Amino acid sequence: MIGEVQPTNNAWERALQPAVIQYKATNGFHAKWAADYEAAVRTTLDTARFASGEPFQTILDTIVA
């Protein structure tokens, strides 16, 4: 249900796993802008996925705005 508070934050921890794996596999980011970009994209898409289930529409709305 939307708006329901979960007893744990497991869903958000699972959402972080791809970013952590990429960071470890590539030995980190060598440029601050790359790390900032990755964080912004992942945050936007994960929030959209959890809130509405439509990350692609969120991308389109962001580009158009």
pLDDT tens by residue, 9-59: 677 777 778 777 877 777 777 888 888 888 888 888 888 887 877 888 888
Question: SS3 helix, strand, coil % of the chain, rounded to 5?
Answer: 70, 0, 30
CA dist., res. 19 & res. 17, Å (int): 5
Cα of first residue to Cα of last residue in the chain, in angstroms, is 29
DSSP state at residue 31: S
Q: Note the pLDDT of residue 36.
A: 86
CB-based contact 58:48 (threshold 8 Å): yes
Query: What is the pLDDT confidence band of residue 60, given thresholds at 50, 70 and 90?
Result: confident
